[in-house]
Structure 1
Amino acid sequence: MYDFVVVGAGPAGSRFARRAAEAGHDVLALEQGTVGEPLACSGHVSTDVWDFTAPDARDDLLQNEIVGARFHVGGPGSDAHRFYKQEAVSNVIDRVGLDRHLAGLARDAGADLREEHTVTAVDEYHDRVEVTARGPDGTETFAARMVAGCDGPRSRVRDELHLSEPDELLHGVLGFDAAADDGEFVDVHLTAPRFFAWRIPRGNAGVEYGLAAPPGDDVGARFDALVEAYGVDPHRRCSGAIPVGPPDRVTSTRGFLLGDAAAQTKPFTGGGILYGMTCADHAVRTVDPTEPSTLQAYERAWRDELSREIRLGHWLRRAYSLPEPVQHAGLRALSGEIGVHMDRPTSVFSREHLRTLLS
């Protein structure tokens, strides 16, 4: 019997599998397809991502360094309000490469990571959980003390454990243009209903364009209008769901959720790579697979660290829907050099940010 079956080998799942294996647990990780594919997530992350990788990962995965953002209330060509730091505030990375790197670290730590395994059922019992998956050699059932659902915004594990869905699922569209661009600023357009659109320079890897909004707001057509206004025709497109708002409970009797499955994401950007891996570390630290009661310690630990960030992130997102004159006034008043951390909204109250404003 395994200690943990991990369903999903994205950043949160691979991070948990690696750290749990390093802690001496017997770990099986199942990935529905090939690790990192299909791409459905932006590669724009905070510089903290390197705290979760091997020391040489930056050399292989880094595509560009970003020092700030230009915020537009209108489309391309509209007036921009610049926010920036003197050093890199974020990095643009090879997103598929990151997934594969993290999965490799999990395997190196001793986790049994199997690709092309689609989970079809999860059954909980008082002393174990059984995970049934369809793989290249047929259907198999694996017994474990606990299951970790790291299988994305439309989580099969979440459904099987009868846990609540996120508060909402946004519809995101990405497109990639091959023209090299090593610019230091991303562009953010507060024009999509209840969310935003973006342009991210990826160095020699080209440019990423994206837009997200609630389903039903004709996201695809709005994305087409965005790239047309920029005068580009992306050679590759993808789309996916973006979960926002974690449910009140992400644990069951012998199971727990991590990452997008638990909506451990930033409400103001939809990003969840760092939040998911942070929660994975909390799970390894707090959960004993032989003691189901320790799942409550995991619930407390990740919420203690992230609940304030998520709550403030919701307030930031509300500003996206303010009247345009109010947006212009607010952005104009706050623009300039900043001292905030892109994953931590509460850093707006930090000494670093206050010193920057006063200087």
Structure 2
Amino acid sequence: MYDFVVVGAGPAGARFARRASEAGYDVLALEQGRVGEPLACSGHVSTDIWEFTGDGARDELLQNEVFGARFHVGGPHSNAHEFYKREVVSNVIDRVGLDRHLADLAREAGADLREQHTVTGVEEHRDRVEVTARGPDGVETHEGKMVVGADGPRSRVRQALGLPEPGELLHGVLGFSDEPDPQDFVDVHLTAPRFFAWRIPRDESGVEYGLACPPGEQVNELFDELVAGYDVDIVRRCSGLIPIGPPGVVTTRRGLLVGDAAAQTKPFTGGGILYGMTCADHAVRTVDPDDPRTLADYESAWRDDLASEIRLGHWIRKAYSLPEPVQTLGLSTLSGEIGVHMDRPTSLFSTDQLKAFLR
């Protein structure tokens, strides 16, 4: 019997598998397809990403360094309001490569990580869980002391355990052009209903375009309008769901959720790579597979760390739906040098931000 059966080997699942294996636990991780495929997530992350990777990852995965963002209330040719730092704000990375790198670290730590294993059933018992999966060699059933659901916005584990859904699911679209662009600013457009669109230069790797908004909106048509405004050809396109708003509980007697399955994401950007891996670390640190009572410690730990960030993130997102004149006034007033951290909206009230604002 495994200590943990992890369903999903994206950043949060691979991170949990690695850290739990390093802590001496016996871990099985099951990934539905090939790790990192299909791509459905942006590769724009904070520089904190390198705290979660192994040696040489930066040289292997880094595509561009970003110093700031241009915010537009309208399309590509509208007036831009620049926000910047004097040092690198964020990095653009090879997103598929990141997933594979993190999965390799989990394997090196001792986790039994199996690709092309689709989980078809999860049964929770008083003293164990049974996870059934369909793999290349047929149907397999594995027993574990606990199951970890790291299987994304439409989590099968979450459904099987009867845990509540995220507050909402946004529909995101990504497209890539092959135009080389060494710029060190991203562009953000507050034109998508209740969210935004973006353009991220990836140096010689091309440019990423994206847009997200609530289901029911014409997301593909809005994305086509964005791309047409830049007059570029999209050579590759993909889409996915973005969970926003974690439910009130993400654990049961023998199960827990991490990452997108638990909607551990930033409400104002939809990004969840760093939040998900941070929560995976909290889970490994607090949960004892032989003592289900410790799951309550995980619930407390990750919420104590991120609840304020998520709550403030919701308020920031509300600004995306303000009337255009109000948005323009606010952006004009606040633009310039900043001291905030892109993963921590509470840094808006930091000494660094105050100093930058006064400058």
Aligning the two structures, in what range does the TM-score lie when normalised by the shorter sequence? over 0.9
User: Percent identity at matched positions?
Assistant: 75
Q: How does 1:168-179 map to 2 (within 5 A)?
A: 168-179=168-179
1: distance between equivalents of 2:143 and 2:66?
A: 45
1: distance between equivalents of 2:244 and 2:283?
A: 20
1: distance between equivalents of 2:165 and 2:206?
A: 35
Post-superposition offset of 1:316: 0.1
Post-superposition offset of 1:346: 0.1
Q: How does 1:1-359 map to 2 (within 5 A)?
A: 1-359=1-359
2: distance between equivalents of 1:358 and 1:259?
A: 37
2: distance between equivalents of 1:292 and 1:141?
A: 22
1: distance between equivalents of 2:316 and 2:357?
A: 19
Unaligned runs of 5+ in 2: none
The Cα offsets for residues 43-74 of structure 1, whole Å up to 9 and x where unpaired, read as 00000000000131000000000000000000
1: distance between equivalents of 2:215 and 2:234?
A: 22
**Counterpart amino acid of residue 211 in structure 2:** L
SS of structure 2 residue aligned to 1:152: coil
1: distance between equivalents of 2:110 and 2:14?
A: 12
2: distance between equivalents of 1:349 and 1:225?
A: 36
Q: Which runs of 4+ in 1 moved over 2 A?
A: none
1: distance between equivalents of 2:77 and 2:14?
A: 41
2: distance between equivalents of 1:78 and 1:6?
A: 46
The Cα offsets for residues 147-172 of structure 1, whole Å up to 9 and x where unpaired, read as 00000000000000000110000000
SS of structure 2 residue aligned to 1:240: strand
SS of structure 2 residue aligned to 1:237: strand
| TM-score where L is the length of structure 1 | 1.00
SS of structure 2 residue aligned to 1:103: helix
Unaligned runs of 5+ in 1: none
**Counterpart amino acid of residue 204 in structure 1:** E
Post-superposition offset of 1:182: 1.1
**Counterpart amino acid of residue 172 in structure 2:** G
2: distance between equivalents of 1:85 and 1:53?
A: 24
Post-superposition offset of 1:318: 0.1
2: distance between equivalents of 1:160 and 1:180?
A: 45
Aligned residues: 359
| TM-score where L is the length of structure 2 | 1.00
SS of structure 1 residue aligned to 2:251: coil
1: distance between equivalents of 2:28 and 2:84?
A: 43
1: distance between equivalents of 2:356 and 2:173?
A: 35
SS of structure 2 residue aligned to 1:222: helix
SS of structure 2 residue aligned to 1:41: coil
SS of structure 1 residue aligned to 2:141: strand
